[in-house]
A and B are shown apart, each in its own frame.
Chain A
Amino acid sequence: MTPLNRQQIAWRVGQDFENGMLVNLGLGMPVNCSDYIREGREVVIQSENGVIGAGPLASANAADSDLVDAGSRKITIAPGGTVIDSAWSFAMIRGGHIDVTVLGAFEVAANGDLANWDNRIPDKGPLVGGAMDLAAAAKEVWVMMDHTTRKGAPRLLRTCTLPLTAPSCVTRIYTDLAVIFRDAAGFLVKEIIAGLSREELQARTGAPLRFAGDCGVLAAPEIAEKD
């Protein structure tokens, strides 16, 4: 089996953006998803600092420190885009206008609880940003993350051990091993990588998995990992 790298997970998430969706991408891995929107689809990328219609990263000579995304990356504005102020941006977020937010996570529980803001590093300051607003109010919360920790411990759990970002909010999880929907009954596996058995996936998961009747193979094109 070959787990997906992070760019491939971003590619897989990007395939599921529908035409006309308003999508917010979180810091870290999720911002890469905008590179993989399907040909012929237009998706409006919202950045919490108020950019509506965030475009690709700016080239070196076009980079402008007044035009950044939520990750402080210098970006461009896509055709049709604009910028609003933060209070309005979060009114958009809390008001339920975001179709999908894609967030990274430390842990997701079978009831949809999300833990992605506080990994309890002693004495380090907090870093919540817009995560709680997004998790609480986007129509759908998609998580992308490695299926297990670097030490191999599951991140998909019965109950989160880390402080919650929002209760019962996650609707999908895209990992390096599987695509999993989360519903009232818990985790439902929709796709699994080739060469990994259902039992092996379950062994890497801290809560019961169900497998969809049409459970397919999770595959992505070759894409080099970026730093």
Chain B
Amino acid sequence: MAIDKRVGSAAEAVADIGEGAVVMISGFGGAGFANSLVLALRDRKVGGLTLVVNSATHPLSQTHTLIEAGLVRKVICSAARGRGTALSAFEQLHKDGKIELVCLPQGTFAESIRAGGAGIPAYYTPAGYGTDLGAGKEVRQFNGRGYVLEEAITADVAFVRGDVADRFGNLTFRHAQKNFGPAMATAAKLTIAEVRVAQSEPITPDRIELPGVFVNRVVTA
């Protein structure tokens, strides 16, 4: 039977994501947010989620709707600051002790996901050494410099946004859409891509930026 990872809708693509899932969400600064998948997940109303997302509060991402809906137990991110002085939904929930926060330097966030998909359980990085974000973590000196031991991050599901997909799940990205997508796709048991175009015809091999072996489902959005 021919491989065809295209599914009919975002709702269908997220239909089996369960309570307590660890969900990676790609996107940075308005580029590459998989917002259709995020909204479809919100509509499923499964709770206890752990989000692995660079920013928990970016206004162009729909990630905050999962938080506002009370579906999120924990956030792993590099940024969670709402705009202005008023508290965002995340900030209020965190203040009230209802949502757990792990804040990582962005490079650690990215590398931990990459490591998670690459079979590396932990690694040393100079980022965060000698700071509050490195406090309590194992440190070690190499060549006279201090490094922090950081552990890999994996997930049950990853949402990525691409430009074109083919039926094999091969993806291309437009510009800065790529950001965390390729790493997240390798680090999750189930990767769902939302794309502008999902075609039957295979993408030219040299144009593929994420091989379809890392993508399980594709939806047009």
A-side residues, CB < 8 A to B, are: 48-51, 64-72, 74, 77, 83-87, 89-91, 93-94, 118, 121, 123-133, 136-137, 163-167
Residue in chain B with minimal CB distance to A122: B95
Least CB distance from A180 to B in Å reads: 22
Of the candidates B31, B95, B113, the one whose C-beta lies within 8 Å of that of A49 is: B31
Q: Contact at A93–B107, with CB atoms within 8 Å?
A: yes
A137-B126, A167-B129 known; A86-B82 Cβ under 8 A: no
Could you write out 19 A-B pairs with CB less than 8 Å apart? A50-B176, A64-B174, A64-B175, A66-B30, A67-B175, A83-B173, A90-B110, A90-B111, A121-B85, A123-B91, A125-B81, A126-B103, A128-B79, A128-B104, A131-B105, A132-B108, A132-B133, A164-B132, A165-B131
B-side residues, CB < 8 A to A, are: 28-32, 54, 56-58, 60, 78-82, 85, 87-88, 90-91, 94-95, 101, 103-108, 110-111, 113-114, 125-133, 173-183
A-B complex: 6 closest residue pairs judged by Cβ atoms: A90-B107, A125-B80, A133-B107, A72-B29, A132-B105, A167-B130
Q: Contact at A66–B176, with CB atoms within 8 Å?
A: yes
Q: Contact at B174–A66, with CB atoms within 8 Å?
A: yes
**Additional 15 contacts, C-beta under 8 A, given A85-B183, A128-B78:** A49-B179, A66-B30, A72-B30, A85-B180, A86-B28, A86-B106, A121-B85, A124-B81, A128-B79, A130-B105, A133-B107, A136-B126, A136-B128, A166-B129, A167-B129
Q: Contact at A69–B29, with CB atoms within 8 Å?
A: yes
Q: Contact at A48–B91, with CB atoms within 8 Å?
A: no
Q: Contact at B111–A125, with CB atoms within 8 Å?
A: no
Neighbouring B residues of A66 by C-beta, 8 Å: 30-32, 174-177
Q: Contact at A124–B131, with CB atoms within 8 Å?
A: no
Neighbouring B residues of A167 by C-beta, 8 Å: 129-131
Q: Contact at A129–B175, with CB atoms within 8 Å?
A: no
Neighbouring B residues of A71 by C-beta, 8 Å: 29
Q: Contact at A87–B114, with CB atoms within 8 Å?
A: yes
Residue in chain B with minimal CB distance to A47: B176
Q: Is the interface of B mostly helix, strand, loop or mixed?
A: loop
Residue in chain B with minimal CB distance to A127: B81
Interchain CA distance A51-B28 in the complex, whole Å: 12
Neighbouring B residues of A164 by C-beta, 8 Å: 130-132
Neighbouring B residues of A93 by C-beta, 8 Å: 107
Of the candidates A86, A121, A125, A130, the one whose C-beta lies within 8 Å of that of B183 is: A86
Residue in chain A with minimal CB distance to B146: A167
Residue in chain B with minimal CB distance to A121: B85
Interchain CA distance A41-B98 in the complex, whole Å: 52
Q: Contact at B91–A124, with CB atoms within 8 Å?
A: yes
Interchain CA distance A93-B180 in the complex, whole Å: 15
Neighbouring B residues of A87 by C-beta, 8 Å: 110-111, 113-114, 180, 182-183
Least CB distance from B54 to A in Å reads: 8
Q: Contact at A130–B179, with CB atoms within 8 Å?
A: no
Q: Contact at A136–B31, with CB atoms within 8 Å?
A: no
Neighbouring A residues of B88 by C-beta, 8 Å: 125
Least CB distance from B85 to A in Å reads: 8
Neighbouring A residues of B79 by C-beta, 8 Å: 125-129
Neighbouring A residues of B87 by C-beta, 8 Å: 123-124
Q: Contact at A133–B127, with CB atoms within 8 Å?
A: yes
Residue in chain B with minimal CB distance to A72: B29
Give the interface centre of B30, B58, B183 by most chain A CB atoms within 10 Å. Answer: B30
Interchain CA distance A70-B131 in the complex, whole Å: 22
